[in-house]
Amino acid sequence: MGTGIAQAFLQSGFDVVLVGRSEESAKKGLDLMNAGISKAIAKGSLKESDRNNMLSRLKVTNKYDAISGSALVIEAVSEILESKISVLRECEKYAKGSLIATNTSSISITLLANSLANPEMFIGMHFFNPVPVMKPVEIITGEKTSQKATELAFKFSEMCDKTPIKVKDYPGFVANSILMPMLNEAILLLEKNVATKEGIDAIVKLGLRHPMGPLELADFIGLDVCLDITNSIYKATKDEKYKPERLLVEMVEQKKLGKKIGEGFYKY
Ligand SMILES: NC(=O)c1ccc[n+]([C@@H]2O[C@H](COP(=O)([O-])OP(=O)(O)OC[C@H]3O[C@@H](n4cnc5c(N)ncnc54)[C@H](O)[C@@H]3O)[C@@H](O)[C@H]2O)c1
């Protein structure tokens, strides 16, 4: 998601700093971004000449001090509360006065804000995958988010050619509150041999007119990411419909994490 968000802002003419947690992960970010740009060129939405232009406005680093002076900082690390808090605190240290946003899928904005020195300038901006293509951004305010921060989040989303939509600080917000029980149900149906994985996906695509089947979509999101999101919503709501299915837990334990590693419900 980090590289997708960076690509979308580069495409809209922004200067972007992409911070990885190590030199290796920063380099992986650059490779992923180049692959994303190649995909957009192949589809005709970008030209080869756009690549150089975009990459000339990109800085890739593992040093947080590179974000100082940025108007907007977006955190997109794993959906783990402790990781997000430690990364957000680092961001606050170096980007004083900037709007700091989290791309969390499910964690409370007020809860994250409670660990920060300037909760007024902190907000949720939940982008959708793949970011360069998908239009909506869920904008989630915490109890202390200022009006100025909210207006800036809307403005930056629109400048990045997105459609910002205000959403309450509720576990999973709108998208994942709806999506996670559906993915869980599809995994349960597979576990119970109600149909094959291809059958489940085909019925949802053809019968419910979804562009992707739920098992393909879970692979695309990342099964570890799905597990973290549904666990986080389950912890916050105690609602059984968010309790992760056994098969999902087992697949993550077996490191079958989906498309990003070449194997999930399907092989890639
Ligand atoms: N995958 C999706 O479809 C999707 C969609 C919308 C939002 N999100 C959200 O975006 C965020 C990232 O998801 P993703 O799918 O890109 O996950 P991912 O596992 O592909 O990437 C997470 C990245 O975070 C890095 N990371 C983890 N802990 C870190 C730390 N302490 N410091 C620095 N870097 C750290 C990892 O090295 C990795 O590069 C999550 O909050 C997720 O809920 C995901």
Q: Beta strand pairing status for 122-127 and 58-61?
A: unpaired
Verify that 124 and 151 share a domain, yes or no.
Answer: yes
| Ligand 1 lining (C-beta closer than 6 Å) | 1-2, 21, 25, 76-79, 83, 86-87, 103-105, 126-127, 129, 221-222, 225, 229, 260
- Annotated catalytic residue, options 70, 176, 177, 231: 176
Verify that 156 and 189 share a domain, yes or no.
Answer: no
Verify that 162 and 198 share a domain, yes or no.
Answer: no
Residue 205 lies in a domain: yes
For a ligand 1 pocket test, name from 22, 104, 128, 225 the mutation site with the most ligand atoms within 8 angstroms of its C-beta: 225
CATH code, 256: 1.10.1040.10
The boundaries of the domain holding residue 198 are: 179-261
Residue 19 lies in a domain: yes
Total domains in the fold of the chain: 2
Which of 167, 196, 219 finishes a domain? Answer: 167
Verify that 114 and 240 share a domain, yes or no.
Answer: no
Q: Residue 128: CB partners within 8 Å, gap ≥ 6?
A: 134, 135, 136, 137, 175
| 24 labelled catalytic | no
* Residue whose C-alpha is closest to residue 260's, from 229, 212, 224: 224
Q: Residue 86: CB partners within 8 Å, gap ≥ 6?
A: none
Dist CA 71 CA 73 (whole Å): 7
Residue 33 lies in a domain: yes
Verify that 200 and 148 share a domain, yes or no.
Answer: no
Q: How many residues would you count in the chain? A: 268
Cis peptide leading into residue 171 (ω within 30°): no
**C-alpha 228 – ligand 1 centre gap (Å):** 10
Dist CA 214 CA 242 (whole Å): 15
Residue 125 lies in a domain: yes
Which of 135, 167, 199 finishes a domain? Answer: 167
Judge contact between 226 and 79, C-beta under 8 A: no
- Annotated catalytic residue, options 75, 92, 138, 245: 138
Verify that 144 and 190 share a domain, yes or no.
Answer: no
pLDDT tens, residue order, the chain (268 aa): 999 999 999 999 999 999 999 999 999 999 999 999 999 999 999 999 999 999 999 999 999 999 999 999 999 999 999 999 999 999 999 999 999 999 999 999 999 999 999 999 999 999 999 999 999 999 999 999 999 999 999 999 999 999 999 999 999 999 999 999 999 999 999 999 999 999 999 999 999 999 999 999 999 999 999 999 999 999 999 999 999 999 999 999 999 999 999 999 999 9
Verify that 6 and 139 share a domain, yes or no.
Answer: yes
Supply φ then ψ for residue 75, to 5 degrees: -85, 130
CATH code, 147: 3.40.50.720
Residue-level pLDDT at 56 = 96
- Residue 5 has, within 13 A of its CA and on its CB side, a CA count of 23
